[in-house]
Chain A
Amino acid sequence: MPTTFFPAVWYILENYGSWFLRGAGITMLIALTGTVIGFIIGLGVGVVRTIPAPRGGKFSLKKILLKLSNILLNIYIEVFRGTPMMVQAMVIYFGLSEAIGVNLSPLTAGIIIVSINTGAYMAEVVRGGIQSIDKGQTEAARSIGMNHTKTMLHVILPQAIRNILPATGNEFVINIKDTSVLNVISVVELYFQTKSVRGALFKTYEVFLITAAIYFVLTFTVTRLLRLVEKKMDGPSGYTIFTSSTMPQGRLLRGRRGKETAV
């Protein structure tokens, strides 16, 4: 084991590189699945929480159900946002096995914990995203006969999802880093692997510096990729003007011909 910095790092990479890679793989697996599932949970919860109160009687069944589900969802959001994920991991993982007798693998438990946690955060992000869409969009959709579901599906959600994409990316990046707390339930993710390497070599800062670099590469790549997705969702910046000879070139077109910008 070399004692100078660079040779030491090189030595670690040569002999323990696969440990780091495996850890990084598990980290990305948990972060990605957790974010995707969490996003879906958040979307569902956010959509339910923005259902408008039905018109009519004070005590209609619909109204009571909606109220009840809102209370439950609120509790879910507050509890999971208000406690550390590390503590949640301990409670859920050991709670399930000791109190109920359900023995999950640490990996499965990790994915579940990250998903539920992300869901709680995303629920609020989605709600905000939905509420940020101009009321005129809803009114226009209703005015052509769309019900609430169709309005959501075709008009509001496509716009809201585009708007919350940056926040989702944020959540993904946070998840990549925060999976490190799952080492408390022995998930063999990147941080856990790093600790193992340190234990084997009794080298601390070299080992953790490598890990820091890996975390950074992971998060940076993800942010860049998400920017690409955002761009893609925005569609082309220009548009084609159709000039067919069959097109009526009547008085209506005279207005603002000069203004159009072609691709």
Chain B
Amino acid sequence: MSIVVEVRNLRKCFGQNEVLKNVDFTVNRGEVVSIIGASGSGKSTLLRCINLMEWPTSGQILFHGQNVLEPKYDANHYRTKLGMVFQQFNLFSNMTALENCMVGQTKVLGKPKAEARAIAMSHLERVGMAQFINARPRQLSGGQQQRVAIARALSMEPEALLFDEPTSALDPEMVGEVLVVIDELAHSGMTMLIVTHEMQFCKEAAHRVAFMDEGVIAEMGTPEEIFNNPRNERTRAFLSRVRN
């Protein structure tokens, strides 16, 4: 298995507050890794550091063995390789669903419009949103917006997808339709890194689960190990908290 992203000794401080303390971990090709943990444990910060939304204080992030934190590294090109799905969807509100999925392809990757359109359509179909290509984000429900956001990320044909609590901002009735899409992707061999509070989903879809606590990965293992046999005391405490 080849490593897509490797994080080494990653530290991130916001002022005096050390949010990430020497985090090490890897994501392999085709692997679905879930990050769980309490609020404020650094899960989202870790994800945001990986695609350089936040600039790490120190450490290394290797993408196919190259440190993306090198000053000369092309961060914008790197970001095209990692799709990001946000908690708040963040669809471009000045564009339709289709345009949202095309703009990156035409303006960043330089693809011709027709090709971009075809790719966008195929991904919008995949997430079940092909009917709504002309709709603007404000005309769509949260679940529909998130599915378009997933299609937008897929349209860039990235090597890996990062999900930052993709269902946390959704009404309970819409969580399902988004999880179905993510689950389908997880089984298609897509490399994915998912920060989530959906434990059941984690259990079923993830190959590996990382439990974060106070800025470190306290425990990492298969869903089986983490959920049924947690070795770390803090993992156990967290799981019993979320189960109740």
Binding site for B on A (CB under 8 A): 55-56, 134, 136-137, 139-147, 150, 154-155, 158-159, 162, 235, 238-244, 247-248, 250-256, 259-261
Interface: B244 (CB within 8 A):
no
CB-CB nearest in chain A for B109 = A145
Which B96-110 residues have C-beta < 8 A from chain A? 96, 103-104, 107-109
**Assuming A239-B135, A242-B133, A256-B174, what are 15 further A-B pairs, CB within 8 angstroms?**
A136-B86, A137-B90, A139-B84, A140-B91, A143-B51, A143-B153, A144-B79, A144-B152, A145-B80, A154-B92, A155-B103, A162-B94, A247-B131, A255-B143, A256-B141
Asked whether, in the complex, the Cβ of A248 is within 8 Å of the Cβ of B134, the reply is no
| Chain B residues, CB < 8 A from A55 | 55
| Chain B residues, CB < 8 A from A252 | 127-128, 147, 177, 180-181
Interface: B68 (CB within 8 A):
no
State which of B77, B125, B180 has its C-beta within 8 Å of the C-beta of A251: B180
| Chain A residues, CB < 8 A from B83 | 143-144
Question: Could you name 12 residue pairs across A and B whose Cβ atoms are closer than 8 Å?
Answer: A140-B90, A144-B80, A144-B152, A145-B80, A146-B104, A146-B108, A239-B96, A240-B134, A241-B131, A241-B132, A247-B131, A260-B132
Given A55-B55, A139-B53, A139-B86: A155 and B134 interface contact (C-beta under 8 Å): no
A141 to B91 CA separation, bound complex (whole angstroms): 9
Q: Which 7 residue pairs spanning A and B have beta carbons closest together?
A: A252-B128, A145-B80, A144-B104, A255-B177, A136-B90, A140-B90, A143-B84
| Chain B residues, CB < 8 A from A250 | 128
Binding site for A on B (CB under 8 A): 51, 53, 55, 71, 76-77, 79-80, 82-84, 86, 88-94, 96, 103-104, 107-109, 125, 127-128, 130-136, 139, 141, 143-144, 147, 149, 152-153, 156, 173-174, 176-177, 180-181
Given A136-B86, A139-B53, A150-B107: A247 and B132 interface contact (C-beta under 8 Å): no
| Chain B residues, CB < 8 A from A241 | 131-132
State which of A159, A242, A244, A251 has its C-beta within 8 Å of the C-beta of B94: A159
Most buried by A among B76, B89, B92, B176: B92
| Chain A residues, CB < 8 A from B109 | 145
In the assembled complex, the CB of B168 is this many whole angstroms from the nearest CB of chain A, namely: 14
